[in-house]
Amino acid sequence: MKTVLVIESSISGKAGKSSQLIEQFLAKLPADVQLDRIDLASQPLPHLEMNEIAAWMTPEADRSLEQAALARHSDDLIARIKQADAIVLGVPMYNFGVPSQLKALFDRVARAGVTFKYTEQGPVGLLSEKPVVVFATRGGIYQGTNADSQTPFLQQFFNFIGLSEQYFIYAEGLNMGEEAAKAALDKAEQRIGELSRKLAA
């Protein structure tokens, strides 16, 4: 692993538990790993609008200055994803879903003909495989139940663009008292140790 793309989306910034777990994980990676960081809370992306999609569909040479600036959001994100050897995401649960900041990024990464294509057999992801590590932080407990709307969404999204090597590290029950929070973070730390050894091997 040479380059790791780190995508954080906690509105608590560095105080967010997902951001803290990410730092624990990164600290365990080999020292020569290069980090490419995106913090969606401090540098949010706007909601996707039709004029941005129109800019993607316009050949690069024909884009107006405004279209070139609009297309850059998606072009840059996809280039950074392609360049990375692994992707690490902090995914807090906000109102039963992923942060809208992260959804705004996903909306720019799923691009027909670039990251996926439709075929007679159904959609095919166009990105080359690389590990995706998700740090899922939650006030309550949902893992493995139908109330966990985040995990199937994230699995489906990454499968759709061709990234099926996915690892989920959960820290749940973070708002259920100090003891529960500590137990959840300890469990996540143990998983971080296991996964960092596996990915560094």
Ligand X SMILES: Cc1cc2nc3c(=O)[nH]c(=O)nc-3n(C[C@H](O)[C@H](O)[C@H](O)COP(=O)(O)O)c2cc1C
- List residues near ligand X by CB under 6 A: 10, 12, 16-18, 90, 92-96, 137-140, 174-175
* Cα angle 79, 82, 88; round to 5: 105
Return d(Cα 78, Cα 84) in angstroms, integer. 10
Q: Kindly tell me which of 16 and 131 has the beta carbon lying closer to ligand X.
A: 16
Query: Considering the complex, what minimum distance in angstroms separates the CB of residue 25 from ligand X?
Result: 13
Query: Considering the complex, what minimum distance in angstroms separates the CB of residue 185 from ligand X?
Result: 10
Query: Considering the complex, what minimum distance in angstroms separates the CB of residue 142 from ligand X?
Result: 7
Q: Which of 60, 73, 149, 142 is nearest to 107 (CA)?
A: 73
Q: Which of 107, 80, 98, 88 is nearest to 19 (CA)?
A: 88
Q: Are 92 and 150 in contact (CB under 8 A)?
A: no
Q: Kindly tell me which of 12 and 164 has the beta carbon lying closer to ligand X.
A: 12
CA dihedral 107, 112, 116, 119 (to 10 degrees): 140
How many residues are listed for the chain in this entry?
201
Q: Kindly tell me which of 92 and 131 has the beta carbon lying closer to ligand X.
A: 92
Q: Kindly tell me which of 90 and 131 has the beta carbon lying closer to ligand X.
A: 90
Phi, psi for residue 165 in degrees, rounded to 5: -85, 95
Q: Are 67 and 55 in contact (CB under 8 A)?
A: yes
CA dihedral 195, 143, 188, 157 (to 10 degrees): 50
Query: Considering the complex, what minimum distance in angstroms separates the CB of residue 10 from ligand X?
Result: 3
Q: Which two tokens stand for residue 133?
A: 């590590």
Q: Kindly tell me which of 126 and 180 has the beta carbon lying closer to ligand X.
A: 180
Return d(Cα 99, Cα 171) in angstroms, integer. 16
Query: Considering the complex, what minimum distance in angstroms separates the CB of residue 39 from ligand X?
Result: 12
Query: Considering the complex, what minimum distance in angstroms separates the CB of residue 93 from ligand X?
Result: 4
Q: Kindly tell me which of 64 and 175 has the beta carbon lying closer to ligand X.
A: 175
